[in-house]
């Protein structure tokens, strides 16, 4: 069986999730093309060598420019900080490598379009890391909609609520700095909701939004790592340059109405990536904190037993379920990455573009920027303006 040799740039939160996917695929999805964990790359030799050993990479390197040129590498997996996505992608595409880039694809729509063009020009496969699509419950929602079982869609309501920076003394990590992260909750969390809306409902025609930075200054961190801020904090404060919360209304091209909210200031919500969809024949509800469940309602149920059903998406009829455990034995966050990576591998095997790919990343970025423009200019913005 053909193998795919992977070179990965980045090894923190997302790098760990991706590594685990490569590591577990041979066991749970043995019939697809198999990944080989060839080399992981990071600037800090100590850190990346430790990660390489722990995660199971054959080797570690510190220069991504070399890595993307290596002949023994088929796929470049990019989960370095967002401000590096573009440069690495362009170089890797040029070198003819398949591309697996974490979201957000880039810090700007312009950059992400350049990346898509480069990937297309190079004729390589390209995937963007919208992992939440790959929760089996989300796949079930998609299936019900695609099969017309919810009828015409009227409403999409999506919100991604977290509370990890609620404390004003939480330090100014890179995710709170616009030049590195691009945006705050909007690009970090909202991007996932936008992608789910694209996946489940379709394209967005116009948006109007608002956003806020509730805590405008925070202590400078000692050192930054992944989601947390290790080490001692400085007494000095710095300006938070991204949004703490962003909300917007949207009209979809198919006439559905949408509302979106992303915030890091929703006390009690650790990772409420949630949506509800209402159609003429039924509704679905999803909450990532109960990621194995989909709530489903059908208008044509018998009159005396109409109600939302709590579906545990672990039955043989559900996506990816047969690779795992018997019904009722749930899976977790990390499995979304495994399924996502399986899609990439299968796409390579079948010589087609994986879904979601860079075009989806661009489309998401387009909405993100349309919302930002709408906030700046305090008006409705057509996505096509951008």
Q: Of 36-55, which residues contact its own copies (CB under 8 A)? A: 53-55
Q: Could you say which residues in the range 260-289 bind its own copies, by CB under 8 A?
A: 261, 263, 265-272, 276, 278-283, 288-289
Local structure of 55: helix, strand or coil? helix
- Edge-to-edge strand order for the sheet containing 272-279? 293-298, 282-287, 272-279, 153-161, 257-263, 245-252, 204-212, 381-382
11 contributes a contact to its own copies by CB under 8 A: no
* Binder among 83, 114, 315, 349 for its own copies (CB under 8 A): 315
What is the rounded distance in angstroms from the CA atom of residue 35 to the CA atom of residue 74? 10
* Binder among 108, 241, 259, 346 for its own copies (CB under 8 A): 259
| Residue with smaller CB distance to its own copies, 108 or 259 | 259
| Residue with smaller CB distance to its own copies, 94 or 290 | 290
* Binder among 216, 329, 352, 384 for its own copies (CB under 8 A): 329
* Binder among 79, 82, 274, 314 for its own copies (CB under 8 A): 314
Q: Could you say which residues in the range 291-310 bind its own copies, by CB under 8 A?
A: 291-292, 296-299, 301, 303-310
* Binder among 94, 212, 219, 386 for its own copies (CB under 8 A): 212
What is the rounded distance in angstroms from the CA atom of residue 336 to the CA atom of residue 342? 10
What is the rounded distance in angstroms from the CA atom of residue 162 to the CA atom of residue 155? 23
Which of the 8 DSSP states describes residue 374? H
Q: Could you say which residues in the range 164-193 bind its own copies, by CB under 8 A?
A: 164, 166
What is the rounded distance in angstroms from the CA atom of residue 218 to the CA atom of residue 209? 25
**CA nearest to 345, candidates 157, 178, 160, 134:** 134
| Location of structure tokens 């070179």 | 7
* Binder among 113, 318, 339, 363 for its own copies (CB under 8 A): 318
Show the binding pattern over residues 124-153: x = contacts its own copies (CB under 8 A), - = does not: ----------------x--xx-----x---
Q: Could you say which residues in the range 12-41 bind its own copies, by CB under 8 A?
A: 13, 16-17, 19-20, 23-24, 26-27, 30
CB-based contact 289:270 (threshold 8 Å): yes
| Helix (H) or strand (E) segment spanning residue 21 | helix 13-28
């Amino acid at each position: 069986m053909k193998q795919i040799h992977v070179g990965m740039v980045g090894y923190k939160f997302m790098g760990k999730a991706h590594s685990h996917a490569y590591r577990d695929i041979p066991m749970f999805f043995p019939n697809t093309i198999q990944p080989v964990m060839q080399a992981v790359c990071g600037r800090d030799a100590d850190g990346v060598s430790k990660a390489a050993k722990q995660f199971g990479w054959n080797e570690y390197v510190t220069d991504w420019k070399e890595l993307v040129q290596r002949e023994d590498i088929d796929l470049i997996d990019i989960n370095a900080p967002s401000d590096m996505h573009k440069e690495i992608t362009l170089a890797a595409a040029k070198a003819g490598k398949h591309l697996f880039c974490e979201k957000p694809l880039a810090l700007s729509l312009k950059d992400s379009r350049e990346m898509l063009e480069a990937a297309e020009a190079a004729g390589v496969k390209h995937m963007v890391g919208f992992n939440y699509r790959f929760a089996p419950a989300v796949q079930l929602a998609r299936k019900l909609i695609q099969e017309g079982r919810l009828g015409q869609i009227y409403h999409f309501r999506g919100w991604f609520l977290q509370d990890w920076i609620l404390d004003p003394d939480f330090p100014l990590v890179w995710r709170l700095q616009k030049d590195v992260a691009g945006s705050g909750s909007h690009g970090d969390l909202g991007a996932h909701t936008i992608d789910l809306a694209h996946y489940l409902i379709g394209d967005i025609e116009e948006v109007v939004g608002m956003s806020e930075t509730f805590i405008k200054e925070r202590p400078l961190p000692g050192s930054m790592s992944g989601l947390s801020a290790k080490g001692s904090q400085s007494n000095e404060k710095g300006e938070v340059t991204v949004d703490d919360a962003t909300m917007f209304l949207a009209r979809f091209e198919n006439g559905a109405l949408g509302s979106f909210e992303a915030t890091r200031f929703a006390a009690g919500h650790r990772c409420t990536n949630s949506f509800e969809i209402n159609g003429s024949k039924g509704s679905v509800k999803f909450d990532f904190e109960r990621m194995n469940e989909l709530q489903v309602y059908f208008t044509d149920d018998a009159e005396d037993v109409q109600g939302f059903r709590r579906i545990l998406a672990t039955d043989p009829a559900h996506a990816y379920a047969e690779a795992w455990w018997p019904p009722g034995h749930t899976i977790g966050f990390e499995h979304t990455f495994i399924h996502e990576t399986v899609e990439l591998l299968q796409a390579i095997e079948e010589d087609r573009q994986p879904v979601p790919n860079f075009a989806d990343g661009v489309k998401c970025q387009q909405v993100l920027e349309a919302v930002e423009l709408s906030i700046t200019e305090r008006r409705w913005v057509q996505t096509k303006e951008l």
